[in-house]
Structure 1
Amino acid sequence: MLKMALFFLVISIIAGLFGFGGISAAAAGMAKILFFIAIVLFVVFLVLAVMAGKSLTS
């Protein structure tokens, strides 16, 4: 997921350099959405792993 966010970020930067503002904004928006989804999934799985670890040690 983070690889796709990085890919869209690079596309956004390249499109911005060549003057394609609409494509650049759309790619930057997609990169931002994918980044935040990846962060949310990371936090959810981190909490699940901590809860599973506590139940095994109890």
Structure 2
Amino acid sequence: MEIYVNTDVETDGPIPGPHPLLSFGSAAYTAEGKLIGTFSANLVELEGAVGHPKTME
């Protein structure tokens, strides 16, 4: 069976490390488009990471 996974990430900037990765989520589907399951997580920001100025606008 083929399984397709769609993943989305939420960040405070373009570069991991200096800018926080806030959360991510995934959804798995069959080839026919039936939802199999989902997963999401909110993450703890790295110490010293700050939002990118343009992202924060």
Regarding TM over 0.5, the answer is: no
Q: Which one has the bigger helix percentage?
A: 1
Q: Which one has the bigger strand percentage?
A: 2
Q: Work out which of the two has the higher radius of gyration on C-alpha atoms and give 1 or 2.
A: 1
TM-score by length of 2: 0.23
